[in-house]
Structure 1
Amino acid sequence: MGKKQLKAVDNITFDIYEGETLGLVGESGCGKSTIGRTILNLYQATDGQVIYKGRNLQENLSTKDRKYYQEKMQMIFQDPYSSLDPRMTVLDIVSEGLKIHRPDMDKKEMSDRVYDLLELVGLNKNHAKRYPHEFSGGQRQRIGIARSLAVNPEFIIADEPIAALDVSIQAQVVNLLKELQRDRGLTYLFIAHDLSMVKYISDRVAVMYLGKMVELTTSEELYEDPLHPYTKALLSAVPIPDPKIEQQRERIILTGDIPSPIDPPSGCSFRTRCPMAKEICAEIVPEWKEVKKDHYVACHLY
């Protein structure tokens, strides 16, 4: 018998518009980070295209072109503890991209650039000679953000940038990202599982389940009128600060475990946990369609 193929991401199509933040949410293991890393070519896609300003980045690009796109697209990693080399100073960490993409910069120019970036993210030049272990988690993530900004990118993938941080620090980092976007015209793919924070930062939100996209619409629309049963279940778990509303609303508890991506269910991948599943859900993969203006869903209920 042949080995079964694991599809971490399966048949997904979406656009990210210049200057916006697209939030990408879903449970751990649903393929969110795989999408982000595939866009940056850290993972090689087995099929499909990644189009950036009309150019397919999955093609065999020249070294010059690949370097150009690497410069325009950067990443902020999830874990501020493991994503920074403990043997390097902050100066060396932040200037790493400059050494690759700005080889003509002299040492003073590079240092001045790093100092400016540290000031930009709420640190100062006195931090440049220190090592990662001397900083808190929030400060380390600010260093990671400074590193991603070093070569003036246009598009940044933020892969759960606040997941490893204390709640008290999370809002500070998200506010910093919003401020940088406003001042520098950045475009974000913001990957997260915290729906309350995604609502705060995102213009549109895409919801994933087991390697597939199940819903996509504006942030406001998703929170006011979610359509997919999985989205409804996720949102029902987000606490609301008004105790009266919190007491009245229905909490949707999903039963069962997430199926293995190596052996996903037939038809709709969510049907084994869906409280509204029908016979057709086991037989046919739901079509991805626009059911309202700019509101897309993959569900047989619509």
Structure 2
Amino acid sequence: MSKPLLEVKHLKKYFGSSNHPVRAVDDVSFTIQPGETLGLVGESGCGKSTTGRTIINLYEPTDGEVIFDGKDVTKLSNKEMKQFYQNMQMIFQDPYASLNPRMTVKEILSEGYEIHGLYKNKKEREAKVHELLESVGLNKEHASRYPHEFSGGQRQRIGIARALSFDPKLIIADEPISALDVSIQAQVVNMMKEIQKERGLAYLFIAHDLSMVKYISDRIAVMYKGKLLEIGEADDLYQNPVHPYTKSLLSAVPQPDPESEKERQRIPYTPTEYSESDEEDLMLRDLGNGHFVYCTTKEFEAWSKEYPTV
């Protein structure tokens, strides 16, 4: 296996006072390979978006390491940070709030070039903007318009074009389709897959729509209350979920067949109450096939019997 593009090691992000902190991200570790898509799923408020924002340094981590392309992001100089932001970009959830309403599309897409001192020639910059717009299914005539003149799907395409402007190695997509109509969601996700194929991009795809995450992701990580509970290959995680929370999440995914949907049982999730000694024993444990589950030694012994490869 090649060297990971991104290594997140024991990442923590706490908010509030040190006496009563809100543990938004609590000891999270994972890797992303070049060209891979890791889906990060979980219910609202579980810490998915905070994880993405901490990785890209919008939030300063409380503890842990973020190693990107062999360098610790938290220890970069100002000059190195500029290079880092060219190689890692973010697509935000709200296509309405993430674009400056007072700027034209051309100004939005070329703003980064001006900040980083690229394409100083106006003609070159304009050609690059037109190229970006075409790569996301818009045309060059759109460059002179303002964000309010576009639909939600088109605005998100502009957000994706902005993220692609520096030809990054990794894009953190923070629920990029949740604010869009269902018919538009598929178009945007298919476009993202096509762009990934053309450019060899890696994605951290944050979402709560499990069926869409399975479609786009190579591996999936399941998050609950700031912790990673399970991580594995997309097909394996769907076919052989191990953690009770993962099973509960998957039982809530709607089925296209109304008959099976009517008869299907939802699995409620009741968090386990751990003793102090059990809490010290909790960690991500390898079931095989790159499938990890967060559990105690006792739980691991029980759950590994259910898992087909062990």
TM-score (norm 1): 0.88
The superposition leaves residues 7-31 of structure 1 with CA deviations (integer Å, 9 ceiling, x where unpaired) of 2101111001110000000111111
Distance 2:211 2:118 in 1: 42
Instruction: For 2:50, give the aligned amino acid.
Output: T
SS in 2 for 1:48: strand
Q: 1:20 aligns with which of 36, 43, 60?
A: 36
* Residue pair 2:284, 2:294 contacting (<8 A) in 1 also: yes
Counterpart selection for 1:54 from 67, 70, 84:
70
Matches within 5 A, 1:133-212: 133-212=148-227
Give how far 1:199 is off: 0.4
Partner of 1:96: 111
Question: In the alignment, does 2:278 pair up with 1:284?
Answer: yes
Q: Give, in angstroms, the shift of residue 251 of structure 1.
A: 1.2
> Is 2:24 the counterpart of 1:8?
yes
Which secondary structure does the structure 1 equivalent of 2:63 belong to? coil
SS at match of 2:28: coil
Deviation at 1:98, TM superposition (A): 1.4
When residues 248 and 128 of structure 1 are mapped into structure 2, their CA distance, relative to the original with a 3 A threshold, is same
The yes-or-no answer on 1:37 pairing with 2:53 is yes
2:291 pairs with 1:295: yes
2:253 to 231, 238, 245: 238
SS at the partner of 2:222?
Answer: strand
**C-alpha deviation, 1:246, in angstroms:** 3.4
Distance 1:282 1:224, change over 3 A: farther
Which residue is 1:124 aligned to?
139
Corresponding residue for 2:96? Answer: 81
The answer to whether the 8 A contact 1:101-1:151 is kept is no
- Cα distance in 1 for partners of 2:211, 2:274 equals 33
Cα deviation, residue 280, structure 1: 4.5
CA distance in 2, matches of 1:62, 1:243: 56
CA distance in 2, matches of 1:96, 1:40: 19
Offset at 1:244?
5.2
Task: Give secondary structure in 1 for the equivalent of 2:32.
Answer: coil
Indicate the SS of the match to 1:50: strand
Query: Which structure has greater strand proportion?
Result: 2
Question: 2:87 is matched with which residue?
Answer: 72
Distance in 2, Cα, partners of 1:152 & 1:2: 39
| C-alpha distance in structure 2 between counterparts of 1:52 and 1:3, whole Å | 32
Q: Is the 8 A contact 2:119 2:125 kept in 1?
A: no
Q: Alpha-carbon deviation of 1:99?
A: 1.3
Identity of aligned residues (%): 60
CA distance in 2, matches of 1:143, 1:292: 41
- 1:102-127: per-residue Cα shift (whole Å, max 9, x none)? 43531111111001110110000111
Bigger RCO (CA 8 Å, 6+ sep): 1
The whole-number CA distance in structure 1 between the counterparts of 2:116 and 2:18 is 44
Give the SS at the match of 2:247. Answer: helix
How far, CA to CA, are the matches of 1:205 and 1:2 in structure 2?
32
* Kept after mapping to 1: 8 A contact 2:47/2:225: yes
Which range moves more in the overlay, 102-111 or 154-163?
Answer: 102-111
Shift of 1:247: 4.6
Q: Is the 8 A contact 1:208 1:214 kept in 2?
A: yes
Which region of structure 1 is more displaced relative to structure 2, 286-295 or 190-199? 286-295
Shift of 1:72: 0.3
Asked if the contact 2:37–2:202 (Cα under 8 Å) also holds between the matched residues in 1, the reply is: yes
2:244 aligned residue: 229
* Range 234-243 or range 126-135, more displaced: 234-243
Contact preservation (8 Å) 2:113, 2:119 = no
Greater helix fraction, Structure 1 or Structure 2: 2
CA distance in 1, matches of 2:200, 2:112: 20
Matched position secondary structure for 1:284: helix
Quote the residue 2:308 is aligned against.
none
Change (3 A) 1:110 1:155: same
